[in-house]
Structure 1
Amino acid sequence: MTEFTTLTTTEALAQFCEQAKTQPYVTIDTEFLRERTFYSRLCLIQMALPPASDGKSADGPAVLVDPLSYGLSLAPLYDLFRHEATVKVFHAARQDLEIFFHDAGIFPTPLFDTQVAAMVCGFGEQVGYETLVRKIAKDNLDKSSRFTDWSQRPLSKAQQSYAIADVTHLRAIYESLKSQIEKSGRESWVAEEVAVLVDPETYITRPEDAWKRVRTRSNSPRFMAIIRKLAEFREEYAQSRNVPRSRVFKDDALVELASTKPKTEAELGKSRLLLREGRKPEIAQGILAAVKAGLEDPDPPRVPKEQPGPPGNGALGELLRVLLKAKAEAARVAPKLIATTSDLDAIAQGARDVPALQGWRAEVFGRDALRLAEGQIALSAAGGAVQVVELP
């Protein structure tokens, strides 16, 4: 197992972070639990520094930081996050960043996400860390500790080994991907994707918008008004008490309640899908109040029905799929990173505000997609490859 130090005091963390500020980058990962809470509970932080420039050691120092240690403050880590001379390297950073954002309202700057970089370098969509370790670091990972309870102390040797490997191999992966990105001139592509990761809107969940995630079979305005109020109550309750939404009531119970519209506790008691947790007095009263508010809502949401597109949209959508595959192969980028199926269908139906038509995606695919949709180009097959043909 790679050598590492476990940090359990603020002073020790501060000392390591000061050392990190002298380095070009630091690799970081976290372990957390979320099964029993609304917000993730941070249980462990792993960090590693690059090898010394004098070549005295093949590896730089690596540490495990125990945020559950009594009195330990993460202030030195957040100070490192603000230090712009040191790149903070994560893999699949979104969940890690969500923890730090909700804890301190801070994002690491500058940030490099190796999952994003790997997709841009042609490793496929949402490539896993294990794949990059095997292909770039030429090693294998023991993933047996992945789903263990990270809040238990002491950590087992297997847990420690698993955790430290998540940042030590990341050094070689970062250096390789960084070099590939610079050679291909795709720094702006990575920057666009990282900008989404460090946008607070990515992590803010507004109770009034929670209803939009609930799947229903009916779009009746009054029914949707009750759905909206019930989802809003559940979100507010879950956030304020830091419990999972499903612990309040699940989506199937929410839809059932919107259909049966209980007005009294006796009527609520007849629910088939509302579990014991949802029958607690404070939740039961919240449900009844939400149903009442939905029934009386003067401005119920009106969800437009999907309208069939004009004739020919299906064929145009298929042409766009062929164009996407050809462009993705030429750029060595996963097609789904450039455009989703819904993007292609929307373009075929005349939409022009989809992500596939913005930023670097427009450069790779979007501009020609619009030209194809507007009849300015055609597609031809030659020598087993798809080519764009200019039309007069």
Structure 2
Amino acid sequence: MITISTTEALAEFCAKAKTHPFVTVDTEFLRERTYWSKLCLVQMALPGKDGEAVLVDPLSEGLSLEPMYDLFRHEATVKVFHAARQDLEIFFVEAGVFPKPLFDTQVAAMVCGFGEQVGYETLVRKIAKENLDKTSRFTDWSRRPLTDAQKTYAIADVTHLRVIYEFLAKDLAKSGRSAWVEEEVGILLNPETYTNRPEEAWMRVKTRTTSARFLGVVRELAAFREGYAQARNIPRSRIYKDDALLELASTKPTTIEELGKSRLLLREARRGDIADGIIRAVKEAMAAKPESLPKIVEEKTQLQVNTALADLLRVLLKAKSESAGVAPKLIASSADLDRIAAGMRDVVALTGWRLEVFGADALRLAEGEIALTAKGGSVKVVALA
């Protein structure tokens, strides 16, 4: 098992990879103590049962990953990942680069009928006919030296991936659905997928309160927390957790004394820069003009959802997904169905390949142009005169 720890060795391997049609890639990283993921290991393998497979140690002193990033830019070699999103975020944040062309076997497996969010271990078992030892999965990948068990686990994430890729690529070519996967991969290759703007952080905070002023405080507190976490590369929860944020939005402290009465705020957040930031955020939210305060839009309770139509759309989705052999959630989410049933048409499920598989009939159902009939365990679409 080869471990690459110099730029020269990495450049030699990547030059070799450029002569092949594809290379499989995976990473090991840590994120428990940082805002941004810390890259600890990169695994790559060349095609063929005995194709060269290597571990790249980015923690090695003096090692530059630029040869790998150059390989990522090489359009003649497909870069194969499984569940690539977190890996891509690392490369985008660290180097502003995406591996292109990209093939994600998790996306491809959903299109090929392997179910929703199918795991790598499942694909290894079903396609490669092998079993994985996952005991090293949650080990500390930043510690050196790596154990033999860690190395064996890590390299298996790219060696079996070769067989999985070739199987899925062949299946997609046969079914004519390669474009479906490319459409989904396009989302993974969009920088917006990995851009966390502090001013938008409040949208990820779950609250049942719809008061505009309350949401205004939530927005400012979430924006301060996000910016502070990004600047210092620490987890959001190290500053304050969501339950503490919601408590602060309710109590609206504007002095250190009032802040000290919080039940949920961490001790470190009751003083210094964090305390000052909290108080400043609350004051800004309280001084904001009403028209500038955020509003929750398109809540299910606010949508005029035709519940009968929503139920029929769920039946249609189940029938269409089974017929196409595609995971239902890949086609449409529950929120998509509710929005369609409320008369909205700017819905992902009504675009691209989804329109062909499900969206067109969903629109016809909503317009009363078709009906659904059930016989035994099957559902059929019937055109209405």
Matching residue of 1:93: 84
Whether 1:13 aligns to 2:6 is no
Residue ranges of structure 1 left out of the alignment (5+ in a row): 52-57
Whether 1:113 aligns to 2:110 is no
Whether 1:225 aligns to 2:222 is no
Q: Secondary structure at the match of 1:140?
A: coil
The CA distance in 1 between the partners of 2:323 and 2:13, in whole Å, is 44
Q: Secondary structure at the match of 1:375?
A: coil
The CA distance in 1 between the partners of 2:78 and 2:127, in whole Å, is 20
Matches within 5 A, 1:18-33: 18-33=15-30
Q: 1:310, CA displacement in angstroms?
A: 5.0
Q: Letter of the aligned partner of 1:230 in structure 2? A: L
Residue 34 of structure 1, aligned match among 7, 31, 36: 31
The CA distance in 1 between the partners of 2:6 and 2:167, in whole Å, is 34
Matching residue of 2:191: 200
Whether 1:362 aligns to 2:355 is yes
The CA distance in 2 between the partners of 1:5 and 1:35, in whole Å, is 28
TM-score (norm 1): 0.96
Matches within 5 A, 1:188-267: 188-267=179-258
Q: 1:277, CA displacement in angstroms?
A: 2.7
Q: Secondary structure at the match of 1:47?
A: strand
Matching residue of 1:55: none
Matches within 5 A, 1:155-170: 155-170=146-161
Q: Letter of the aligned partner of 2:335 in structure 1? A: S
Q: 1:307, CA displacement in angstroms?
A: 4.2
Q: Letter of the aligned partner of 1:257 in structure 2? A: L
Matching residue of 2:281: 290
1:121-167 deviation per Cα after TM superposition (whole angstroms, max 9, x unaligned): 00001100000000010000000000000000001111000000000
Residue 66 of structure 1, aligned match among 57, 62, 70: 57
Runs of 4 or more consecutive aligned structure 1 residues displaced over 4 Å after TM superposition: 304-311
% of aligned pairs identical? 70
Matches within 5 A, 1:103-142: 103-142=94-133
Note if contact 2:256-2:271 (Cα within 8 Å) is conserved in structure 1.
no
Residue ranges of structure 2 left out of the alignment (5+ in a row): none
Q: Secondary structure at the match of 1:274?
A: coil
The CA distance in 2 between the partners of 1:280 and 1:69, in whole Å, is 38
Q: Letter of the aligned partner of 1:321 in structure 2? A: R
1:74-127 deviation per Cα after TM superposition (whole angstroms, max 9, x unaligned): 000000001011000000000000000000110001000000100000000110
Q: Letter of the aligned partner of 1:244 in structure 2? A: P
Q: Letter of the aligned partner of 1:37 in structure 2? A: T
Note if contact 2:216-2:293 (Cα within 8 Å) is conserved in structure 1.
yes
Matches within 5 A, 1:166-185: 166-185=157-176
CA gap of 1:229–1:388, structure 2 versus 1, over 3 A, is: same
Q: Secondary structure at the match of 2:41?
A: strand
Matches within 5 A, 1:267-346: 267-298=258-289, 299-304=292-297, 306-307=300-301, 313-346=306-339
Q: Letter of the aligned partner of 2:367 in structure 1? A: E
Q: Letter of the aligned partner of 1:357 in structure 2? A: L
CA gap of 1:260–1:387, structure 2 versus 1, over 3 A, is: same
Whether 1:376 aligns to 2:373 is no
How many corresponding residue pairs? 382
Q: 1:227, CA displacement in angstroms?
A: 0.8
Q: Secondary structure at the match of 2:320?
A: helix
The CA distance in 2 between the partners of 1:310 and 1:300, in whole Å, is 24
The CA distance in 2 between the partners of 1:201 and 1:363, in whole Å, is 26
Note if contact 1:249-1:277 (Cα within 8 Å) is conserved in structure 2.
no
Q: 1:221, CA displacement in angstroms?
A: 1.3
Q: Secondary structure at the match of 1:389?
A: strand
Q: Letter of the aligned partner of 2:22 in structure 1? A: Y
The CA distance in 2 between the partners of 1:310 and 1:201, in whole Å, is 30
